[in-house]
Amino acid sequence: MKVDYKKDPNKAIKGWRKILNTFDSLDSQLKEFRAQLERMELKYGPNSDKTKKLEKKIAKIDKAMEKAVAAEKKLMNLVLRHAPKVKTEADFDSEAAVEVSSKKGSSLLDRLRKKSQKKEPGVPKGN
């Protein structure tokens, strides 16, 4: 695997395991705090100090989750050494131009014109 990637995949896997543990921890904390928040809102109302504190804790955990997701993306971007070239719009245009020029007059429109001229013998060619 080291031959295929620019970054060490073994280090990435170890780091990924740590991040997965972080996700598990944050997820369980979120579930617990949200359950507490529901109970607090019912007991004290949505505008009480206790519910606001829990909302702040939940917001911190949400930010930590976003950071973990970003860290995961960065960690798992191993970059292939021999990655295939991504085709651009210009590449597709040049391929289409080559294909059209290689047919030289065998386009559908040309074939239809020839058929219509054969069916109408009295009509001069070119009109």
Angle between helical axes of 9-44 and 49-76 (0-180°, round to 10): 170
Domain that holds residue 33: 9-76
**Other residues' Cβ atoms within 10 Å of the Cβ of residue 90:** 8
Structural domain total, the chain: 1
User: Does some domain include residue 49?
Assistant: yes
pLDDT tens, 57-87? Answer: 999 999 999 999 999 998 888 776 666 677 7
Contact 104, 55 (CB under 8 A): no
- pTM of the full predicted structure? 0.56
* Mean pLDDT, rounded, for 1-26: 85
User: Does some domain include residue 70?
Assistant: yes
pLDDT tens, 31-55? Answer: 999 999 999 999 999 899 999 999 9
| Distance in angstroms (rounded) separating the CA atoms of residues 27 and 67 | 13
Strand intervals (E) in the chain: none
Contact 57, 33 (CB under 8 A): yes
Contact 50, 40 (CB under 8 A): yes
User: Does some domain include residue 124?
Assistant: no
User: Does some domain include residue 103?
Assistant: no
User: Does some domain include residue 60?
Assistant: yes
